[in-house]
Structure 1
Amino acid sequence: MPAPVRSAAQWADFGRDHVSHGLGRLRDHVIVKGEGLDLHTADGKKLLDFTAGIGVTNLGHCHPAVSQAAAAQVNTLVHLQCSIGFHAPYLQLIDRLLPVMPHQSLDQFFFWNSGSEAVEAAVKVARKATGRQNIIVFQGAYHGRTMGSGAMTRSKPIYTQGTGPLMPGVFASAYPYWHGLGVSPSTSEEELVRLAKHQLDLVLRQQTSPTDVAAIFIEPVQGEGGYVPCPPAFLHYLREVCDKHGIKLVIDEVQTGFFRTGKYFAIDHITPSFRPDIMVFAKGVANGFPISGIVANKETMDTLDVGSMGGTYAGNAVACAAGVAAQDVYASGEIEANVAARSEQLYATLNKLATSSKTKHLIADVRGLGLMSAIEFRNPADSLTQEGLPEGTSIPKSIGKRVQEHCLDNDLLVLTTSCFDTIRFIPALVCTEEQMTRAMGIFTEAVEKVALEG
């Protein structure tokens, strides 16, 4: 039977009737086409997408080189289960990734489908390699929402509420972020690191012995926690702690990898020699095709029993071929240069809003790396966000949500993030100067409108 013909409104009604209630949406748009940063809806709207599929389509929707590589692979080999044998795109993708690893010891790969699965693969590897169970994560962390990775997520309770018990053996420590530590936004980075180090030391003295800890997981820029870059000094401290106690240090680059922060991986900002024991990646690796992975050194990976890793669709041939093409685009150097130019343009707007007499009373913080940036708004119920305000200044409620709604009404897609009032910017890395100018104009108008309305 032919597919039924429905209007955009009818398809939206159909979706509301039959898509799981557990899946949220910004709006009930029915998207029919994507091209670069433009999304086209079934009812004729064109939306400027500053979400990039939440950091997935780093090269924009339907990048020609990636789409052509995937189409060619569809006509060659769609799927070979990874336990049956090697396939060429799997090996080619490893060949492209090896030279860009943040440390030369990272040379053993396993590909899976999603970030959550890759996180759980890293847990398995760390536990097997150390013979220990416990995992340490950080407040504000997002590592997924499956029963294992969800136990490690500390950004919002919505992801797992009412579904426990989750994976046991997970302990949380404080991330070096002023809001999470309960101090003012002007607190120095040195002091934030000191406070976070103290809290981790307490976890290891009061909650779990270091000899029971398999791994410490950390995002070099927290995603759902509010787009908060981790100070390099704290990451170096984690390396020292892990080396001292035989703990595996796992760097979660699911959202931060593939030039999202301006470097191939976010930890490349720290030092060329920084060494994770295991690194997790996904999202931007294949520009929208479902693939994720972990990489570790040979000594760590060789502790696994043959047959202990696998998965029906793990390392799918079409996704790997798309990943190979994406790496070739990244290798040109054009993406890195564009991120530098567009992020300068973006931060100029955000910093102007944070200092403007019209809007500075709304803004608590501007932060991020590259095209992974955020603006945190003040909250009338949160005294930490009111630093520097003259006494009696009126702060509107729900600033971020209201700004987001104004942007959506003007066909700009932006996302909020964290349990604090924060909007994040995560456009495709191919964003043009004109697109950034247009988006920042809409966003500025939205913030000024909320300031005027109060």
Structure 2
Amino acid sequence: MSIPQERRLVTAIPGPKSQELLARKQAAVPTGIGTTLPVFVTRAGGGVLEDADGNALIDFGSGIAVTNVGNAAPRVVERVRKQVADFTHTCFMVTPYESYVQVCEKLNQLTPGDHEKRTFLVNSGAEAVENAVKVARYATGRQAVVVFDHGYHGRTLLTMTLTAKNMPYKQGFGPYAPEVYRVPLAYPFRWPGENPAEEAYAQAVDMIEKQIGAGNVAAVVIEPIAGEGGFIEPAKGFLPKIAQYCRDNGIVFVADEVQTGFARTGDLFACEDEGVVPDIICTAKGIAGGLPLAAVTGRAELMDKVHAGGLGGTYGGNPLACEAALGVLETIEQDDLVARARRIGEIMLPRLRAMQERFPVIGDVRGRGAMIAVELVEPGTKNPNPAAVQEVIKRCHAEGLVVLSAGTYGNVLRFLPPLVIPEHLLEEGLGILEKAFS
């Protein structure tokens, strides 16, 4: 690592230079662009973020699951540096280039299922999900889209509509897109019955049959682990049942792996945990080490139905981002980051469960690999406790640990350390977290 892998605090957080920059931000940027921790980063790598005041913070956020391979992974940097000297853009739809094709070939190979696939590239996770719906509607001739409680899919009109949480994502931005229907998710910690997988599945199917009609549904869109909703892993068996229902009724099963993809959960893709093979899979975030890129990968017979010119975008599959993605995939494979994600889970989950024993404010500990969360409650109940989340975050930030919140009720702490974080920083970060709970 070019940056020392150590936490270092030389000022209060945020320091004076960051505060000066924050004032400039507030004068130049709309208030709608929020900031979790106003330290202005000048350098980053491994498990560390350095700020303008010379502080070095431990990173448990990875830019929201983007820098899985680190903020300046050598293979990514090398490829991008070479490409930027050759050319930065031609538009693949005008004069194509090989790296776009290489990324598509790799995703066709690596995503779940051995069927023939096609991939095209766009700029963001929201754009990927929106295009998946476009393909599903075109291929099936149907219009309805089914999504789930606690889901998050983006901030465009359609993906904002698909998203379950009102504040801050939807408040005041309506009217929303038509033909979107929401059904229950098998949320183990909050499901009122004894068998959430069976009961949530039965309720979802009943709502589809009664309110929409299976023959009118183009796509079911679901995150294998709900991200912004609070890192909710659906009860085992729920995803395979939904996927089978889609197969039985000619519905396109779309897996939104924007946050879960690229080794984050201890599998290359989260669907693999239960052997679920989506018809279309949407990826972004961790795909290109921080450069804007996303992908839609699906069954060839679906993807090839759309007429020429019906898919695309000026910047989709930018050559710099494609080279970065190839560097990311090389790094995941050659450094065995799937195993590394599992190791992170093996370190974090027992420590967090031990904290749960000590601190009754921790109602649930959950996650897979390096995608882990704790849900905070009012002690002795399951009532959400968002105030406690904000207090813990404030204390962690003051000690130089970057942590993020999530959850439909704002009461979840989520942990997304870079997969390349050294173990001593992981342990030190957990110690800071434990101190914050104390």
- In 1, Cα distance between equivalents of 2:386 and 2:172: 29
- Matched letter for residue 284 of structure 1: G
Q: 1:437 aligns with which of 412, 427, 436?
A: 427
Cα shift at 1:412: 0.3
Change beyond 3 A, Cα 1:9–1:398 = closer
Give the alignment partner of residue 313 of structure 2, picking from 305, 311, 314: 311
- In the superposition, relative to structure 1, how do residues 290 and 260 fare at CA in structure 2: closer, same or farther (>3 Å)? same
- Match for residue 131 of structure 1 among 118, 141, 146: 141
3-state SS of 2:351 partner:
helix
Deviation, structure 1 residue 437: 0.7
Query: Is structure 2 residue 239 aligned with structure 1 residue 240?
Result: no
**SS at 1:384's partner residue?**
coil
Determine whether 1:80 maps to 2:90.
Answer: yes
Cα distance in 2, alignment partners of residues 383 and 50 from structure 1: 28
Report the TM-score, using the length of structure 1 for normalisation. 0.89
Which residue in 2 is equivalent to 1:354? Answer: 356
Q: State the one-letter code of the partner of 1:363.
A: I
CA displacement at 1:385 relative to structure 2: 4.8
**Structure 2 vs 1, CA of residues 385 and 72 (structure 1 numbering), >3 Å: closer, same or farther?**
same
1:169 is aligned to 179
Q: Contact 1:364–1:385 (CA<8 Å) still a contact in 2?
A: no
Give deviations 1:286-320, integer Å, cap 9, x for gaps: 11010001011111011101101111100000000
Contact 1:255-1:284 at 8 Å conserved across structures: yes
Superposed counterparts of 1:218-367, under 5 Å = 218-271=222-275, 274-356=276-358, 359=359, 361-367=360-366
- In the superposition, relative to structure 1, how do residues 16 and 397 fare at CA in structure 2: closer, same or farther (>3 Å)? closer
Aligned to 1:428: 418
Which of 6, 21, 26 is matched with 1:11 structurally?
21
Aligned to 1:389: none
Question: Are the structure 2 counterparts of residues 168 and 106 from structure 1 closer, same or farther at C-alpha, using a change threshold of 3 Å?
Answer: farther
Cross-structure match for 1:452 = none
AA partner of residue 367 (structure 2):
G
2:217 aligned residue: 213
The 10-residue stretch of structure 1 (75-84 or 94-103) with the greater mean CA deviation from structure 2: 94-103
Measured after TM superposition, the shift of residue 222 of structure 1 is: 0.6
Q: Is 1:105 matched up with 2:115?
A: yes
Aligned mates of 1:261, 1:326 — CA distance in 2? 16
1:384-427 deviation line (CA, Å, top 9, x unaligned): 359xxxxxxxxx87211111110001010000101331100001
Task: Find 2:388's aligned residue among 399, 412, 415.
Answer: 399
Q: Following the alignment from structure 2 to structure 1, what is the Cα–Cα distance between the partners of residues 116 and 282? A: 11
Mapped pair 1:117 → 2:107: no
The runs of at least 4 aligned residues of structure 1 exceeding 6 Å deviation read: none
- Taking the aligned partners of 1:48 and 1:30, their CA distance within structure 2 comes to 14
**Residue 67 in 1 paired to residue 72 in 2?**
no
| Superposed displacement of residue 165, structure 1 | 0.9
Partner amino acid, structure 2, of 1:430? V
Provide the secondary structure at the position in 1 that maps to 2:255. strand
> Which residue pairs with 1:3 in the alignment?
none
Q: Which amino acid aligns with 2:330?
A: D
Shifted more, 237-246 versus 286-295: the winner is 237-246
Distance 1:247 1:67 in 2: 41
- Structure 1, residues 211-253: CA drift from partner, whole Å, max 9, x if none? 1110000111110111011234111111221122111000010
CA distance in 1 between counterparts of 2:17 and 2:406 reads 33
Q: In 2, distance between residues paired with 1:297 and 1:400?
A: 41
Tell me, in whole angstroms, the C-alpha distance in 2 between the residues paired with 1:21 and 1:384.
Answer: 33
Question: SS of 2:382's equivalent?
Answer: helix
8 Å CA contact 1:139, 1:180 repeated in 2:
no
Structure 1 window deviating more from structure 2 (170-179 vs 248-257): it is: 170-179
What is the CA RMSD across the aligned residues, in angstroms? 1.8
Say which SS state the counterpart of residue 159 (structure 1) adopts. coil
Give the TM-score, by structure 2 length: 0.93
Paired position in structure 1 for 2:104: 94
* Cα shift at 1:28: 2.1
Instruction: Give the 3-state SS of the residue equivalent to 1:221 in structure 2.
Output: coil
Gaps of 5+ in 1: 1-5, 387-395, 449-454
Equivalent pair of 1:156/1:418 in contact (CA under 8 Å): no
Secondary structure in 2 aligned to 1:148? helix
Matched residue of 2:394: which SS? Answer: helix
Shift in Å, 1:179: 5.1
Q: Select the residue among 65, 68, 76 that pairs with 1:58.
A: 68
8 Å Cα contact 1:263/1:269 also seen in 2: yes
Query: Identity rate of aligned residues, in percent?
Result: 33
- Mean Cα deviation higher: 114-123 or 35-44: 35-44
Residue of structure 2 equivalent to 1:22: 32
Native 8 Å contact 1:218 1:250 kept in 2: yes
CA distance in 2, matches of 1:252, 1:180: 22
The more displaced of 310-319 and 148-157 is 148-157
How far off its partner does 1:24 sit?
0.9
Task: Name the counterpart of 2:3.
Answer: none
In structure 1, C-alpha distance between the alignment counterparts of 2:277 and 2:45, rounded to whole Å: 37
Q: Which ranges of structure 2 fall in alignment gaps of 5 or more residues?
A: 1-15
Cα drift, residue 42 of structure 1: 1.1
Structure 1: which amino acid aligns with 2:387? S
AA of the residue aligned to 1:384: K
Distance of 1:277 and 1:355 partners within structure 2: 41
